[in-house]
Chains A and B, each alone.
Chain A
Amino acid sequence: MAELAVTDPPSSATLKDLFIQFFIIGAISFGGGIVAYERILLVEKRKWLTADEFMAFLAISQTMPGLNSVNLAVLAGDLLRGKLGALIAVLGLIIPGSIFVLALGLLYSDNSDHPLANLILMGVAASACGLLAAITYRIGDDNWKHLKSVAIIVITFCLMSIVKLSLPVVLLIMAPIAIYLYRPGTSL
């Protein structure tokens, strides 16, 4: 029976708890790193998932379109409480930030031609750009070390930013090529 323990009955997860726990993550995750908070919740704090299950969910989240943190909430919510659980988890995750961002957005639309607001935003935007570059570099991780992945990164970038093809076209060109290059039995 031991090997069946993978599907640990997640009966302990009530919809209310699911909502509250994801709401907390959605409210405190200033500066990103939500996936890490989700791992702490799901694997350590509530033990709703095993570490292995979490890694599998993370892989699906990264492969499928959509935000990784939201996809993870979908998968965990669905495992614990079905479709409704998925919905509740996602709502909990995005409600706090949505309110926050809309409040800031209102401030922005009221002051967008205020000269001081523009100067602040200039600094904020430059910094957001640096942050994005850092995150991209870090997520790239091992991909920067192999000729094959670097080639795919560079070609994708060129098709998108230099040739200026639209995103669906870029994906239609690059996905089959990349999947062929990484077909089973090939090395990184």
Chain B
Amino acid sequence: MSHLPSLFLTFSLLSLLAVGGGTAVLPEMQTLLSQNFAISHTQFVHIYSIGQIAPGPNMLMVLVIGFQVAGALGAAVVLFSFFLPSSILCLYAGRLWERFGESPWRRSVQDALEPISIGLMASGVYAVAKASIVNPITLVLALITLFLILKTKINPVFVILGSGLVGVIALKYL
């Protein structure tokens, strides 16, 4: 039970920091979760990748983290705190935006935040890579995925599931 307020605060903070989408907060999330809730980097990456198989917004895996920490109530608290603060902010930003119309600063802020959020996403890739690329086979699987996603139109879910399958065989018998 004592974890609930802490879950609430952690995910509210992450919600408001998620500039450029959820991926930007992955490294921060990983750090906060291992500090506050003893979730290991491996566990985190497992949960993250489970989330990539699901439909819908790509950060719904935060619910699993809430569930792991404090059961169904934990999942509910995380759902509430991860989605509500940023949504309220966006709602009012949308209404203000209508009012301010075409200020040149709008373009500036948007252009400025773009490379920052890409830098943060790159940090997200790095954080996930450190925990998921643990031997030559996982490195090859990651590179094959990168290639397939960039060069073909195949649905990522098939690539991920295929990689799980190939991974089992390769890791077990090679």
Please report A residues at the B interface, Cβ cutoff 8 Å.
26-32, 34, 56-57, 59-71, 74-75, 78-79, 83, 86, 90, 93-94, 96-98, 100-102, 104-106, 108-109, 112, 116, 119-140, 143, 148-150, 152-157, 160-161, 166-168, 170-171, 174-175, 178-179, 181-185, 188
Contact A136 B104, CB 8 Å, known A127-B160, A156-B115 = no
Contact status B87-A74, CB under 8 Å = yes
17 contacts between A and B (CB under 8 A): A30-B155, A32-B156, A34-B56, A57-B94, A63-B109, A67-B59, A75-B91, A94-B57, A94-B60, A97-B56, A104-B54, A126-B138, A127-B159, A132-B121, A134-B150, A157-B123, A157-B126
Kindly state the separation between the CA atoms of A179 and B161 in the bound complex, as whole angstroms.
Answer: 41
Contact status B141-A153, CB under 8 Å = no
Contact-residue size bin, chain B (C-beta under 8 Å from the other chain): 35 or more
**How far is the CB of A168 from the nearest CB of chain B, in Å?**
6
Kindly state the separation between the CA atoms of A86 and B83 in the bound complex, as whole angstroms.
Answer: 12
Contact A123 B94, CB 8 Å, known A143-B115, A178-B115 = no
**How far is the CB of B68 from the nearest CB of chain A, in Å?**
6
Kindly state the separation between the CA atoms of A86 and B90 in the bound complex, as whole angstroms.
Answer: 10
Contact A59 B110, CB 8 Å, known A66-B18, A86-B87, A157-B126 = yes
Residues of A within 8 A of B24 (CB): 167
**How far is the CB of B6 from the nearest CB of chain A, in Å?**
17
Contact status A109-B132, CB under 8 Å = no
A-B residue pairs, 7 tightest by C-beta: A123-B167, A97-B56, A156-B119, A66-B86, A130-B145, A127-B163, A105-B64
When C-beta atoms are compared, the residue in chain A nearest to B96 turns out to be: A60
Contact status A102-B168, CB under 8 Å = no
**How far is the CB of B21 from the nearest CB of chain A, in Å?**
5
Is B46 in the interface zone, CB < 8 Å from A?
yes
Chain B 81-94 near chain A by CB (<8 Å), digits 1 or 0: 00100110111011
Contact A121 B164, CB 8 Å, known A108-B64, A143-B114, A161-B27 = yes
Option from B52, B109, B118 in Cβ contact (under 8 Å) with A128:
B52
**How far is the CB of B31 from the nearest CB of chain A, in Å?**
8
Is B142 in the interface zone, CB < 8 Å from A?
yes
Is B134 in the interface zone, CB < 8 Å from A?
yes
Residues of A within 8 A of B79 (CB): 94, 98
Is B9 in the interface zone, CB < 8 Å from A?
no
Residues of A within 8 A of B150 (CB): 134, 137-138
Contact status B171-A119, CB under 8 Å = yes
Contact status A131-B159, CB under 8 Å = yes
Residues of B within 8 A of A62 (CB): 20-21, 110, 113-114, 117
Among A106, A123, A152, chain B packs the most CB atoms within 10 A around the CB of A123
Kindly state the separation between the CA atoms of A28 and B147 in the bound complex, as whole angstroms.
Answer: 24
Contact status B127-A123, CB under 8 Å = no
Contact status A105-B67, CB under 8 Å = yes
Among B17, B117, B170, chain A packs the most CB atoms within 10 A around the CB of B117
Contact status A149-B115, CB under 8 Å = yes
